[in-house]
Amino acid sequence: MILSCNNVSKAYGTDVIIKSCSFNIEDHEKAAIVGINGAGKSTLLKIITGNESADTGIVTLAKDKTMGYLAQQQDLQSDRSIYDELLSVKQYILDMESELRRIESAMNTATDNELEALMTKYTNLCHEFEMNNGYAYRSEITGVLKGLGFSEEDFSLHVNTLSGGQKTRVSLGKLLLSKPDIILLDEPTNHLDMESISWLENYLLNYSGSVLIVAHDRYFLDKIVSKIIEIDNGVCTVFSGNYTDYASKKAILRNMKLKEYLNQQRDIRHQEEVIAKLKQFNREKSIKRAESREKMLDKIDVIDKPTELNNKMNIQLEPNVISGNDVLTVTGLTKSFDGTTLFDNINFEIKRGERVALIGNNGTGKTTILKLINGLIQPDSGSIYLGAKVSIGYYDQEHHVLDPDKTLFEEIQDAYPDLNNTQIRNTLAAFLFTNDDVFKYIRDLSGGERGRVSLAKLMLSNANLLILDEPTNHLDIVSKEILENALNNYTGTVLYVSHDRYFINATATRILELTNQNIINYIGNYDYYMEKRDILTANAFPAKDSDSDATTSVKESKVSWQQSREEQNRLKKRKNEIKKIEELIAQIEERISAIDIEYSDPSIGSDTARLMDLHNESTNLKQELDALYERWEELMEAE
């Protein structure tokens, strides 16, 4: 056993997050913590790592064992390049290498008496150097960086210029290279594309230490883990097997608990009826018997009703009008940005009733295709034709369709003015927004909450072509399953971009892979795609002869050099804009603070005109500040 949690509990005020949680992680074991959003998964990881304290219970790490932790958000600050940042993990090898060179130099001038001691030290250090992969550590670093989706051109980028997602990947790389005895990962796949996720799966499968993961990627969990620790209403339950095994056992257990609950409720009702009848007889003997039964009833340990799966979200997708059979036709579509071609002369069709997944690595242009179809941007060439009676419902992963200055209620009311107040509240309640939640501003919502509002608007649209960009981002596993069921029961047509392979496998009837600036068609789900990928990719892109390869290589090197310069210029420009925005934000915040002080000054309490001027100025400044914050976030997240 490497890690033990015994009776760990945590509450925030009256809100109990974790109740007496106990489990063990064995040496070399791979396990996952699962549960709905807000269940306490990340909190449990923080307690294990010591970043938060438990109210009760003990966490024990085996003696002389090391632990590594990757949090969801990384604020990595470093003036080093990406490569040098990972190289810093291997400082102990660099020190050994320097010591070996020093001993070699010393041996050249050593006396016979000194030489023997130096040779012994050198031999021992060489062995230690070899055991620590000293002769291949640079290849190891390169392999990890490429596995996590960094190209060799990226290696020289400075860490401080990276987006949040890139910093998380760098932090993950450092953690993997440090090789702790147990790794704790909180949503490690959030910023990885499919190839990088697949690489990480294989890396963790072959990892000699133990791994404890919090993740919503069910395909990832199925591949890696052999134990599931579920947090449900604060209660921890341990299941052996992968995610599919857990889901199956969970369904059986839930049905058993439901039957147990219903049987007990039936017995309780029966006893209550008997007690009422005995009391009606109004005889001393009957009343005593009634009292005896009441005492027995009071001693019963009442079983809680198992939570309903569908009380998490209620999505009902149905088109208003049936479209024609030819829903979407894309012909000769080409799009470039800043001299870089994303895709060239691509063609595909989508028929009514299909559920098509558009997949590909990060940066290939998947989201761009969705925006082109929605008319948000224009193609360089080619045509997009929507069939008869096609009505689009669009889910944008950035949620730009939501107005940050509106409340949830206003967002639905303005988009669908024919709905009355009760209908709006019922819709929002179906997506877990009740009571005063409906008056929250969009800007104050988390990513998951914004996703639920976007799904609510999508449901109300009654569109017959749904275009979804990463619809499962920020959704917990139960919510993903509910969305899967809704899409599978939907009678319209669906085109979506997703990195969630389990979701793709459960919903897609066809897959379009965007690769090498072109489209490859797979008539099946993700399992079919994995089976046929190598064959169809080879057919789509046959090998070129050596002369052609040489010419291409020269062209590519010129393009690569040009792109590198363009990328450096773009990064410099972005960095300058970030600096200007931060300075402007500081100035505006300072002015708002000054206005607040003046506003509360009793000496101008009766000066209505001055108070109104201050109020208007403050309102305008806050609006400007919101826009600056939004632009700052865009720049920080840009890759």
pLDDT band at 176 (very low <50, low <70, confident <90, very high): very high
Indicate whether 131 belongs to any domain: no
Same domain? 429 vs 495: yes
pLDDT at 637: 60
CA 298 → CA 271, 302, 498, distances in Å?
11, 9, 52
Residue 357, judged by CB atoms within 10 A of its CB (0-12, 13-18, 19+), counts as: buried
User: Which pairing describes strands 3-12 and 56-61: parallel, antiparallel, or unpaired?
Assistant: antiparallel
pLDDT digits (tens, 9 = 90+) for 584-594: 888 888 888 88
Indicate whether 61 belongs to any domain: no
Question: Looking at 479, 507, 540, which one is the last position of a domain?
Answer: 540
Same domain? 406 vs 452: yes
pLDDT band at 569 (very low <50, low <70, confident <90, very high): low
pLDDT band at 6 (very low <50, low <70, confident <90, very high): very high
Closest CA to 498 of 302, 219, 226, 306: 219
Return all residues near 29 (Cβ < 8 A) that are at least 6 apart: 2, 210, 211, 226, 227
pLDDT band at 7 (very low <50, low <70, confident <90, very high): very high
**pTM, 2 dp:** 0.66
CATH classification at residue 522: 3.40.50.300
Indicate whether 467 belongs to any domain: yes
Q: Which residue has better confidence, 562 or 492?
A: 492
Same domain? 491 vs 532: yes
Same domain? 450 vs 402: yes
Structure tokens, 236? 């921890």
Same domain? 414 vs 534: yes
pLDDT band at 636 (very low <50, low <70, confident <90, very high): low
Same domain? 301 vs 342: no
pLDDT digits (tens, 9 = 90+) for 66-124: 999 988 776 788 888 999 999 998 999 899 989 999 988 888 888 877 888 888 898 99
Same domain? 523 vs 572: no
pLDDT at 143: 92
pLDDT band at 35 (very low <50, low <70, confident <90, very high): confident
Indicate whether 496 belongs to any domain: yes
Total of domains in the chain: 3
Place of tokens 């401080």: 160
Asked if 158 and 126 count as a contact pair (C-beta separation under 8 A), the reply is no
Indicate whether 235 belongs to any domain: no
- Centre a 10 Å sphere on the Cβ of residue 370 and count the other Cβ atoms it contains: 22
Work out the average pLDDT over 592-620: 82
- The span from the CA of 245 to the CA of 239, in Å, is 8
Indicate whether 330 belongs to any domain: yes
Same domain? 496 vs 568: no
Same domain? 456 vs 373: yes
Same domain? 353 vs 499: yes
pLDDT band at 565 (very low <50, low <70, confident <90, very high): very low
Same domain? 383 vs 464: yes
Q: Helical H runs in 314-446? A: 366-373, 408-415, 421-430
CATH classification at residue 618: 1.10.287
Indicate whether 182 belongs to any domain: no
Same domain? 522 vs 386: yes
Indicate whether 314 belongs to any domain: no
Whole domain around residue 296: which residue ranges?
254-307
pLDDT digits (tens, 9 = 90+) for 226-239: 999 999 888 899 99
pLDDT at 561: 36
Work out the average pLDDT over 311-325: 78
pLDDT at 551: 43
pLDDT at 354: 92
pLDDT digits (tens, 9 = 90+) for 346-399: 999 999 999 999 998 877 889 899 999 988 889 899 999 999 999 998 888 777
CA 557 → CA 229, 237, 372, 550, 552, distances in Å?
49, 55, 30, 11, 9
